[in-house]
Structure 1
């Protein structure tokens, strides 16, 4: 981080800073997909549907974990940009404790209410048993997931974005190997996928914790200092990221409810494949904003607005190019991507392939919405960021599922993501124009607002 901060920004230096986050998110997307791939191929269609039915619990957990990590890291990065390293260290130490406590509380609540949660999700019969097998193990990984997410964000803030790859390479390798062993030779079924996730999460925490304890870092653990206002600010500032993650779980719940009525278990399993592909492809955008957000926060804190505008220029090019590439991948290679999960000739394959092709439209639009949400978080404007995230990931998606799904069946379900992205894009452009003078950035060409 210090090199790109101390000298003029070039494309090479900028790319060097952001590519680890992009690659890291792609890896996360890949090994999230690995669970589904192994379950689909080694356990079966109903187990794949159970993963989708159980996802709302995991999505809400990730929402709270990311809220703490994203909200606090932006505040700490601004403190570092202002030159207040001691204040940054105090806040970093405090949020680590808060994250651990939050993870333990979330785990305890889920374990205590596990049967009620499974009933609420609507799972029945064999799928219900698969859900119980999966969640009863997965829930134990929540404290590690909270702390691992925090370490990943703060390692980037500390100026070592490449090291975030070490976190997820190490955790991902363990996860992948155990997925194969536990669901393959060991024959543990869907429960094996949960144990693999638990082991991978623990490895990430050990590697991330080792970084801050052993390595020479800017951010250091110091004497704990209570700051309730900071904790509250973290919740508010990270609320958009929470909405993005948690909304995926909430919308999955509504989606599954409609799918069970329209096409049954096979529809739930088919759309779970589509959403796995969707997450993998948008992980490029998620990783990009995770990489660039600390730079925006730092230079905004340092009042170096010119560099922020350079980052915006690079961002517009990146978003357009990657959006087109993602859409083309779905249209041209969709069949081969779906074949990783399911062989051609089945109803499950046909549903997943149709959904993947419709997905290409949404992928052309989502990049700017994802960037906008993270962009305003980087400025510490949690409410606007949350509004954008809530629109695309929650409100408009649920409206699309309930309205389009009930009116047009599976075609309406396929178009839900496009509906959400189009409506949110209008809001995104309005917010960009409204706050350009407040934060001294330039986004739109023409009328003195060009880069």
Structure 2
């Protein structure tokens, strides 16, 4: 792969296609929010935001199995272990399917306690329950779709992976309009439209198996249980990136609800949806360069690995600064997209909140670089550590301190403080990895 094209052209090819596909994947949440805002109003947005943590968790689990399994697949392929790599694919597919079915059953049995825990109020319960019921029934399909996208990218089909996710996102937008407006199905319709997206993505992914040059083939995964630990370890950071969004939504919803009520949750829902787009793009960058780093690491190509390192770091830093700048310059316009009723109180809460929240992206890109680079070179522990810091360990104590210090303004600045603290720790590992390829080749 690397010998046919320059490292730079390969990098931008893989990254651009992965970013496009991740942006497409995030479109279904954005589309739901947009059409719900038009068809249901501010309460509909708040109800959706109550359920979004579950959406993040399901998405994160799909990426976890996909990134973790496909990283091993690529390293095994690049070192000539073809049969082993195919067993890894088959094992990952089965584990993802079984875990998805189990999770769907748990969601069905414990629906009411889960919704109560997420903060569903009597005012929002009917709408939240409608979205939750439909969405969680398709949990295995979502997880398999995300897993397959990762393996296609690692089997030299980033273009087909992009088409699969973008097509699913486009179908969701079309069905959102039909189900919410002409049919009047409300949040249940929005959820059903969302669930059609991974079905189409999986159908498109299936075309990959018609390619003669593909390496993805079914091979009995007997004796592969030992692979579960490295799959989970390498993919855990991808799960934590989504889980952190889920945790932030959950704790922010509860804190903001206690401070300013349902309208505050609606304001935060707008910010959270913008955040989903940014995180999707940052995830796409990581998923784009991960197959290249894994291959260069497995084949010990020093020059190509170091160039990919530099390109990845600079792209992440530039994208992070760009989104922070957008939040400063265009907050009014972004909030206006979801405020069709011109609710003044909603605008007064969401506009300054979005500006402050977006400053966190200055540091988020830097942290994502370390997370995905570490996972790509099979350093699951470091990837997990950085993911846990920004996604779990620091959030609650920082939120408590910031909300007590600056009230709602402190809440909006919580993620900036979390990402900054994590970046200070990440910096030393960037210096270490700058020389990593030289160490493994000498």
Q: TM-score range by the shorter chain?
A: over 0.9
Query: Is 1:73 matched with 2:81?
Result: no
Secondary structure class of the residue paired with 1:126: coil
- List per-residue Cα deviations over 1:244-302 (Å, max 9, x = no partner): 11222122211111111111111111111111112212332211111001110111011
**Displacement after TM superposition at 1:10 (Å):** 4.2
Q: Is the 8 A contact 1:305 1:441 kept in 2?
A: no
In the alignment, the residues of structure 2 paired with residue 106 and residue 215 of structure 1 have an alpha-carbon distance, to the nearest angstrom, of 35
Counterpart in the other structure of 1:285: 282
Counterpart in the other structure of 1:13: 10
- Higher mean C-alpha displacement, 317-326 vs 151-160: 317-326
1:132 is aligned, of 91, 114, 129, to: 129
In the alignment, the residues of structure 2 paired with residue 381 and residue 13 of structure 1 have an alpha-carbon distance, to the nearest angstrom, of 23
Counterpart in the other structure of 2:41: 44
Counterpart in the other structure of 2:173: 176
Q: Is the 8 A contact 1:267 1:348 kept in 2?
A: yes
Question: Structure 1 residues 18, 434: CA separation in 2 closer, same or farther (over 3 Å shift)?
Answer: closer
Q: Give me the TM-score of the superposition, normalised by structure 2.
A: 0.95
2:349 is aligned, of 348, 351, 355, to: 351
- 1:357-372 aligned at under 5 Å gives the runs 357-372=355-370
Query: Is 1:427 matched with 2:395?
Result: no
Counterpart in the other structure of 1:386: 384
In the alignment, the residues of structure 2 paired with residue 212 and residue 267 of structure 1 have an alpha-carbon distance, to the nearest angstrom, of 48
Secondary structure class of the residue paired with 2:372: helix
Counterpart in the other structure of 1:299: 296
**Displacement after TM superposition at 1:323 (Å):** 2.2
Residues paired across the two proteins, number: 439
Counterpart in the other structure of 2:336: 339
- List per-residue Cα deviations over 1:127-157 (Å, max 9, x = no partner): 1111111111101111001110111000000
In the alignment, the residues of structure 2 paired with residue 357 and residue 253 of structure 1 have an alpha-carbon distance, to the nearest angstrom, of 20
Secondary structure class of the residue paired with 2:6: coil
Secondary structure class of the residue paired with 2:360: helix
Question: Structure 1 residues 96, 349: CA separation in 2 closer, same or farther (over 3 Å shift)?
Answer: same
In the alignment, the residues of structure 1 paired with residue 321 and residue 246 of structure 2 have an alpha-carbon distance, to the nearest angstrom, of 27
Question: Structure 1 residues 411, 233: CA separation in 2 closer, same or farther (over 3 Å shift)?
Answer: same
Counterpart in the other structure of 1:233: 230
**Displacement after TM superposition at 1:369 (Å):** 0.5
In the alignment, the residues of structure 2 paired with residue 205 and residue 432 of structure 1 have an alpha-carbon distance, to the nearest angstrom, of 36
Return 5+ residue gaps in structure 1 as ranges.
443-451
Q: Is the 8 A contact 1:82 1:301 kept in 2?
A: yes
Secondary structure class of the residue paired with 1:365: helix
**Displacement after TM superposition at 1:403 (Å):** 1.9
In the alignment, the residues of structure 2 paired with residue 408 and residue 416 of structure 1 have an alpha-carbon distance, to the nearest angstrom, of 10
Counterpart in the other structure of 1:320: 317
- List per-residue Cα deviations over 1:176-213 (Å, max 9, x = no partner): 11100101111010111110111112111222234235
Counterpart in the other structure of 1:148: 145
In the alignment, the residues of structure 2 paired with residue 13 and residue 294 of structure 1 have an alpha-carbon distance, to the nearest angstrom, of 10
In the alignment, the residues of structure 2 paired with residue 239 and residue 169 of structure 1 have an alpha-carbon distance, to the nearest angstrom, of 25
**Displacement after TM superposition at 1:407 (Å):** 3.0
Counterpart in the other structure of 1:191: 188
Question: Structure 1 residues 268, 165: CA separation in 2 closer, same or farther (over 3 Å shift)?
Answer: same
Counterpart in the other structure of 1:262: 259
In the alignment, the residues of structure 2 paired with residue 69 and residue 160 of structure 1 have an alpha-carbon distance, to the nearest angstrom, of 15
In the alignment, the residues of structure 2 paired with residue 267 and residue 227 of structure 1 have an alpha-carbon distance, to the nearest angstrom, of 48
Question: Structure 1 residues 402, 10: CA separation in 2 closer, same or farther (over 3 Å shift)?
Answer: same
Secondary structure class of the residue paired with 2:354: helix
Q: Give me the TM-score of the superposition, normalised by structure 1.
A: 0.93
Query: Is 1:119 matched with 2:116?
Result: yes
**Displacement after TM superposition at 1:441 (Å):** 7.2
Give 4+ residue runs of structure 1 displaced > 6 Å after superposition: none
Q: Is the 8 A contact 1:172 1:200 kept in 2?
A: yes
- 1:268-279 aligned at under 5 Å gives the runs 268-279=265-276
**Displacement after TM superposition at 1:230 (Å):** 0.5
In the alignment, the residues of structure 2 paired with residue 397 and residue 354 of structure 1 have an alpha-carbon distance, to the nearest angstrom, of 21
Secondary structure class of the residue paired with 2:221: coil
Secondary structure class of the residue paired with 2:409: helix
- List per-residue Cα deviations over 1:44-79 (Å, max 9, x = no partner): 111111111112222222222221111111111111
